[in-house]
Structure 1
Amino acid sequence: MGFRARIEERPTLRRTYQVGVALLGGLVLAAGVIMIPYPGPGWLVVFAGLAILSTEFIWARRVLDYARGKYDAWTDWLGRQSLLVRLVVLTLTGLVVVATLYLLNAFYLVATVVGLEHWTWLQSPFFA
């Protein structure tokens, strides 16, 4: 008897397993969404979170298929654009990264580490 079959025959274990999958998938998905604007595997982590959720939830499979289609369409569209358009998209993405790092107080944290704590203009309004 397989792993899934043993889970399916016990309702309490099935519900516990579903909650565990929901928590793990939700955490991975949230981490991926946070990582999207930053260099690295943001979209890969988003798709991994949706894939984890889709093992137990039909809605997650639909969202995963939809998101994959939109992601592929976006990358195809961007690949067909001129260098200027791609540079504008890159610049806007960079601005999102800089803004979030500022709001998360990362610049001021680095400034204090290197002895520039008097540069208070680097301090986020959320951490002032």
Structure 2
Amino acid sequence: MKGRWHRWRAHIAATPSLNLAYRIAVGVIGVLVLAAGIVAIPYPGPGWLIVFTGLGILASEFAWAHRLLHFARERYDTFMEWFSRKSFVIKGVGVLLTSAVVVATLWLLGTFGLVGTWIGLDYSWLESPL
């Protein structure tokens, strides 16, 4: 499979315009996945996995993304090791901050106002300020 991939990629690289189009497509897809991951970081779920996937897509074509991927993974692993050694109180503060980000985002996006109207709650403070 790896040999077939290299042959296919070499075929694309042999044609400059096709190679440029391929690199642009990889760049656009990688940036979109990376941006989605960055947005998802503060929420429960696979935010960092999406970030690393986006960087991996970019790293398949760009050396700077390859270096950034290794740098980010090292920093992430270091932080998670540090965080796992912390007390229950510090971990609880992390959960509270994450919850605050989620609630604030849902409020700003108008989710509480929308759901409130479904169940008959029509309070002005539930509405988004945006």
- Pick aligned residue for 1:123 from 96, 120, 127: 127
Q: Deviations over 1:41-73 (max 9, x none)?
A: 111000000000001111111111111011101
Measured in 2, the distance between the counterparts of 1:57 and 1:84 equals 41
How many residues are matched? 125
- Residue of structure 2 equivalent to 1:61: 66
Matches within 5 A, 1:6-85: 6-85=11-90
What SS does the aligned partner of 1:81 have? coil
Aligned identity (percent) is: 50
Q: For 1:50 and 1:109, how far apart are their aligned partners in 2?
A: 35
RMSD of the TM alignment (CA)? 1.1
2: CA distance, partners of 1:27 / 1:46: 10
1:86 equivalent in alignment to 2:91: yes
Runs of at least 5 residues in structure 1 that lack an aligned partner in the other structure? none
How many Å separate the matches in 1 of 2:86 and 2:129?
Answer: 37
Q: Deviations along 1:86-118, whole A, 9 cap, x unmatched?
A: 1011111111111111111121121122232x2
Q: What is the TM-score normalised by the length of structure 2? A: 0.91
